[in-house]
Structures are given as C-alpha cells and as structure tokens.
Chains A and B, each alone.
Chain A
Amino acid sequence: MAVVFQKTKGLTDKQTHYCPGCTHGIIHRLVAEVLEELGVLGEAIGVAPVGCSVLAYEYFNCDMQEASHGRAPAVATGIKRVHPDKVVFTYQGDGDLASIGTAEIVHVAHRGEKITTIFVNNAIYGMTGGQMAPTTLIGQRATTAPLGRTVEHSGMPLRVSEMLATINGAAYVERVAVNTPANVRKAKKAIKNAFQCQLDGKGFSIIEVLSTCPTNWGMTPIDALKWLENNMIPYYPIGNLRTPEVEE
C-alpha cells in the first residue's frame, strides 16, 4: 500500500496539550516539515517561549531551550553567536513577542541576527486565560477588556511585522495565516523562505502567523477560522513585507 502521508520527523511522538481547534499544531507541523525538508533538523536549535507554546520543546524533535517570557530572541542570539553554523529559531506568541518581548524582538532584528522567528498572533493571551494583548482588535473582548478593547484606553492594535519591516537587519518579513488549506500552503512556503534566508546568511527573518484561539475567543473552531478571516486579516494584511531581493 502506498504511503500518502507521513508525520514529519521534525516532531516528537508526544501528544500536544493544545486545545481542540487551536492552530498551533498546524504551525508546529509546518516548521518541523520545513526543517526536515531543508535537511537541517539535526542542526536546528529552537527556543520555546512563555505562553501556550511554552511546551514546544517537548514537540519539536531537535535541541531546544526554554526562554523566559519575551526573551527568546536574546536566548537565540546567545546560541547563534556560539554556533553561527547552526539553524536557530524562536517560536513565540503575541503576548511574548509583541508585549513583554518588544525590546528583544526589535534588537534581534536591529542586529540582523541570523535567526528565524515564528510569531504566532492570535490576538490574545491564551495560556493565562484570555487577557488583552497588544494585538487584540478594537472591540474584541478579553478578560482584562471585558467590554471590548477601545482605542481611548489601550490604543490601536500593534502591527509588529510592519514595524520590524522598517528595520534594516530584518531581511525577510512576511505575514501569513493558517485559516484555509491554501493559506496553510502559503504559510509553509513563507516559513521555508525564512529559514532559507537564515541559511543564506542574509539576516533576521520572521514569519507572523495569524492563528486562532477558539477557547479564549469563545467560538467553535470553524467560527474562529471565519472570525480570523473577517476580522484579523483586514487589520493584519497577509503578504510579504520584506525580502532580501528588494535590498539593493
């Protein structure tokens, strides 16, 4: 019988703790498949964040370090400076990267650190129970914005990728979504480009992945995917924001 699908070697056999309908699983698989397809799984060193994906070190089948909240880019910097020939990546959520870790993500880009960041944006703090994130949309409810986020109180949601794309050291910046099979395929291509950018020594690369949080959004997985499409993508447009080729 022909094998039509096989789990990537890039993931361990450990069952994940993610909620039903959460898209972290898809994104994990994409990263793992890319590492395997690029033939760098044995050279990869990943850094897990604090947040829902805190246990990512149990799922990626490569050497991993667990960072404190927001500091994954600094930890990755330490690793990459010691092993410039290895493939180093961080996997971070939007609380971790866009709030407490803004200094670290800005400066890893600023230095043009040759690492890859997978930035999972689901517009909310998942692990701690649905608090407002800098990426939470206007009107979106959160446990710390019970009536919905307002501009007056909390400002407009932060578009991290656009901000990072202004930094010279950020060689590859792209926002993708994993709400449809087509978008998942595009996301994988972008993730592969980002790692290739690292392998080519071009600079820092980051892929922002728009993701769902059915549990904290209070929706079914299907509704969550629709909400992503109707609310997140209009504010956080998907597409490439920077590639090495546009550099002179």
Chain B
Amino acid sequence: MAKILMKGNEAIGAAAIKAGCKYFFGYPITPQNELPEYMSRELPKAGGVFLQAESEVAAINMVYGASGAGARVMTSSSSPGIALKQEGITYIAGAELPCVIVNIVRGGPGLGGIQPAQSDYNQVTRGGGNGDYKLLVYAPANLQEMVDLMQEAFDAADYYRTPVMMVGDGMIGQIMEPVEFKESVSRFELPEKDWATVGTGNKRKPNIANSLFLDPAELEKHNVKLQEKYATIKANEARYETYNLENAQLVAVAYGTTSRILRNAINELKEKGIEVGMIRPITLWPFPEEAFDQIPASCKGLLSVEMSMGQMVDDLKIVSNGRWPVYFYGRSGGMIPTPAGIIGKIEELIGGAK
C-alpha cells in the first residue's frame, strides 16, 4: 500500500480500526481530539460503535463493559484525563480484561498545559491506579512506528488479557508524517474469548468479570498469578532501539519525540568527534533492561533526556545498579528540548568526566 500523509491522532485511529478495533469510548481533551473525531466518523463505516461518554471515568468503565463482553475496544485521552481513568484501568487490570488506552501526553501537574510533555512517565509505568499491576506501555517515536505497533498492542492486550497503553506526546498526536498501513501477521495465537459475558444461552455456567476477592488468600493467589503474567510480559515484550553505542563515552536515554531530538544532537556531536550512544525504550514498561548490557566499557555515564523533570532517572538508576552514574537533562511544561540544549549538557558532562 502507498504511503499517505496523516495527522498523528488520525493515524492512530486508522491503525486501530485496521487492527480490528470495533468500539471506542472517549471524552474530549486537547491534544488528542482528532482521534475521537476520526473514530466518530470512521468507526461506524467499519461496523463499529463510537460513543462520547459523559466523562473520562465513564468512558473507561464503558471500555471495561465492552471488553468484558468480548469486544476489541479502545479509549484515548491526555494526561489529566488518564489520571481520571486510573480507576477503571486498575479494575480492567484486576479483572484481566484486554483493551488499548491511548495517552497523548500534555504538561502537568493539575490542568497543566496543552503542549507536548512526557510527564506521565510515572503515571504510566508504575501501574497508575491502586494495587499491584502493570500496563504494557508502548512509546513510539514516529507515526509509522505508532501505526506498526497498534496491531501488536491489541493482540498483546488480548493475548495477555491486560490493558495496554500507547503513549505519545502532544507532538505525536499533532504531527503529520507519511504512513504506510502494512499487512501484518500477528505473532500471537489468540484463543477464543470463552470468558466473555455474552449471555449464557442457558448452556453454561455464568461468566463473571470481576476484580473483587474478599478472601485474602484468594486475592493473594490472584496477585501471584498477575505477577507471573507480568514476568512473562517482561521476558517477552520489552522493546528498544540502540543507536551509536559503539565507543560511546556517554549513553543518553530518551523515548518518543525526545529521542528524535536526541538523535539530532548525537549526530551533531559525532561531527565534532564526540561519541554519544542512545538507548530508546520503545516499551516504557517493561523497561528494556537488556539494552543496557550492550553498553561498551567506554561509557562513563547515563543521561536521561526527557520532556519531564527526571521521572525516568529512577529507572536508569535501577537498571544501572551502580554500573554508571546517572545524569538528567529535561525540559517541561510544553517546552521542547533542543539539540543545542542537549549538546550543551553532554559537553558539560563529558568535559567534567575527563
């Protein structure tokens, strides 16, 4: 299929429909509005249903109901709206239901701003709601990658029966880039959803979608089972890209749009004879720990580059485990890091290291 120029939010919608998404429940919030608008226009044509809910809370609970009823379903929002959805997300995780949640991140805290940010890192990688659970979180850096990952996101959600989040910053939502919708073969073998609540037809025992376990022993058992699932996801689903690691004096870590800015900076530094590597997490959870084992001995430190105030630093320290000092460079509030700003920080660090 030929490439077409699409806006990020619309490309997400198109990719979701192509991935078999039939139901979308959402609520308006900038900067993701083109996505529900696109779904309201296109989903009915694909035999699906779009519904604008009365709130983010209602939307995610509609997702819960639809998912529990066996549907391939999605919702989208932006940071404060995702915070509202956390109630439903933890119930979905607890009841082991599949869905895809798109988060086009804007600046916070509170109402914050509407410009691009990555300050939801903690909100999306630590579970987000109450209880011991994790989301599988993809953070693509461009629209083609976003589109390519969408099928995988839905398949992984169904396969693991878990909520999956697709994270983009405001830029990923608003940018127009060429995308190609490729035919892809699922790498998952997806079983029938024999657990779904579709009516017993008087032929079987009732199916129940539920996250309540009043017996502590039962709840613990449930949690152990969830942890085993997360361990499998951790072992199988971590994704990353490395760039220019060879002979790197420093390895910078960035995801999403920030990684593109970092790449420019790395290329400029290379022309100056300074070798800086990049690890780009494509999944934020599981965090791609394995990538860090490829860092060469020449590396003197890690640098977290973010559109947030150091939220990813904790994960770098965990994965470093004392192997490298961890530094931070970031902008926030909708201010976007510049290659010059990143280069300045790196030169300061490398100068200091010498």
Give yes or no for direct A-B contact (beta carbon below 8 Å).
Answer: yes
Question: Contact residues of A with B, CB < 8 Å?
Answer: 12, 41-45, 47, 54-55, 57-58, 60-68, 71, 74-83, 86-87, 103-104, 106-107, 110
Q: Judging by beta carbons under 8 Å apart, are A65 and B51 in contact?
A: no
CB distance from B252 to the nearest CB of A (A): 41
- Bound-state CA distance A61–B203 (Å) is 12
How far apart sit A43 and B88, CA to CA, in the bound complex (Å)? 25
B344 close to A (CB within 8 Å): no
State in angstroms the CA–CA spacing of A55 and B215 once bound together.
13
The smallest beta-carbon distance between B25 and chain A, in angstroms, is 7
Q: Which residues of A contact B211 (CB under 8 A)?
A: 66
B83 at the A interface (CB under 8 A): no
**In the bound complex, what is the Cα–Cα distance between A87 and B69 (angstroms)?**
12
A107 CA to B52 CA, complexed, in Å: 11
Binding site for A on B (CB under 8 A): 22-23, 25, 49, 51, 53-55, 57-59, 61-71, 73, 87-88, 91, 95, 197-203, 206-212, 214
* Chain B hits for A74, CB < 8 A: 53, 57-59, 61-62, 64-65
A63-B199, A74-B62 are known contacts. Are A79 and B210 too (CB-CB below 8 A)?
A: no
Residues of B within 8 A of A78 (CB): 23, 25, 61-69, 71, 73
Q: Are B65 and A47 in contact (CB under 8 A)?
A: yes
A28 vs chain B, min Cβ distance (A):
14
- In the bound complex, what is the Cα–Cα distance between A143 and B127 (angstroms)? 34
For the complex of A and B, the 6 pairs showing the least CB-CB separation, nearest first, are: A78-B65, A74-B61, A78-B66, A42-B202, A63-B197, A75-B65
A60 CB → nearest B CB, Å: 7
Nearest residue, chain A, Cβ from B58: A74
Complex formed: what's the CA distance from A81 to B73 in Å?
Answer: 11
Residues of A contacting B66 with CB < 8 Å? 78-79, 81-82
User: Which single member of B23, B51, B67, B91 contacts A68 (CB below 8 Å)?
Assistant: B91
A interface secondary structure, majority? helix
- Other-chain residue from A67, A68, A79, A103 in contact with B69 (beta carbon distance below 8 A): A79
Task: Tell me which of B61, B206, B211 has the highest count of chain A C-beta atoms within 10 A of its own C-beta.
Answer: B61
CB <8 Å contact, A82 and B199:
no
Q: Which residues of A contact B65 (CB under 8 A)?
A: 47, 65, 67, 74-80, 82
CB–CB B49/A81 < 8 A: yes
**Chain A residue nearest to B68 in the complex (CB):** A65
Q: Is the CB of B61 within 8 A of A71?
A: yes
Task: State the CA gap A44–B208 with chains docked (Å).
Answer: 12
Contact A65 B55 (CB under 8 A): no
Q: A45-B69, A65-B197, A81-B62 are in contact. List 20 more A-B contacts (CB 8 A).
A: A41-B202, A42-B202, A54-B212, A57-B208, A61-B200, A64-B210, A65-B208, A66-B209, A67-B61, A68-B61, A74-B62, A75-B65, A78-B64, A78-B71, A82-B66, A82-B73, A86-B199, A104-B54, A107-B54, A110-B54
A99 to chain B, nearest CB (A): 14
Listed A/B pairs (28) with beta-carbon separation below 8 Å = A12-B206, A41-B200, A42-B199, A42-B201, A55-B212, A62-B206, A63-B206, A64-B208, A65-B95, A66-B211, A68-B88, A71-B61, A71-B88, A74-B57, A75-B65, A77-B62, A78-B25, A78-B71, A78-B73, A79-B68, A81-B23, A82-B70, A82-B71, A83-B69, A83-B199, A86-B199, A106-B54, A107-B58
CB <8 Å contact, A61 and B54 = no
- From the candidates B55, B91, B202, B206, name the one contacting A60 in the complex (CB within 8 A): B206
CA distance A44 to B197 in the complex (A): 9
Whether A75 lies near B54 (C-beta < 8 A) is no
A103 in contact with B201 given A63-B207, A78-B73 (CB within 8 Å): no
The CA of A61 and the CA of B202, in the complex, are separated in Å by 9
Contact residues in B for A67 (Cβ distance below 8 Å): 61, 64-65, 91
Instruction: Write out the residue numbers on chain B whose beta carbons fall within 8 Å of the beta carbon of A71.
Output: 57-58, 61, 64, 87-88
With a cutoff of 8 Å between Cβ atoms, the chain A residues found around residue B203 in the complex are: 42
Closest to B197 in A: A63
How far is A81 from B71 in the complex, measured between Cα atoms in Å?
Answer: 10
Across-interface contacts of B58 in A (CB, < 8 A): 71, 74, 77, 103-104, 107
For the complex, what is the distance from the CA of A80 to the CA of B87, rounded to whole Å?
A: 21
Cβ–Cβ < 8 Å partners of B200 in chain A? 41-42, 61-63
B198 touches A68 (CB 8 A): no
Q: How far is the CB of B234 from chain A (nearest CB, A)?
A: 27
Query: With the chains together, A196 CA to B352 CA distance in Å?
Result: 77
Query: Once bound together, how far apart are the Cα atoms of A246 and B57, in whole Å?
Result: 34
> Which residue on A lies nearest to B70, using beta carbons?
A82
Contact of A104 among B51, B61, B206 (CB under 8 A): B61
Distance between Cα atoms of A79 and B25 in the complex (Å): 12
A41 partner residues in chain B, CB cutoff 8 A: 200, 202
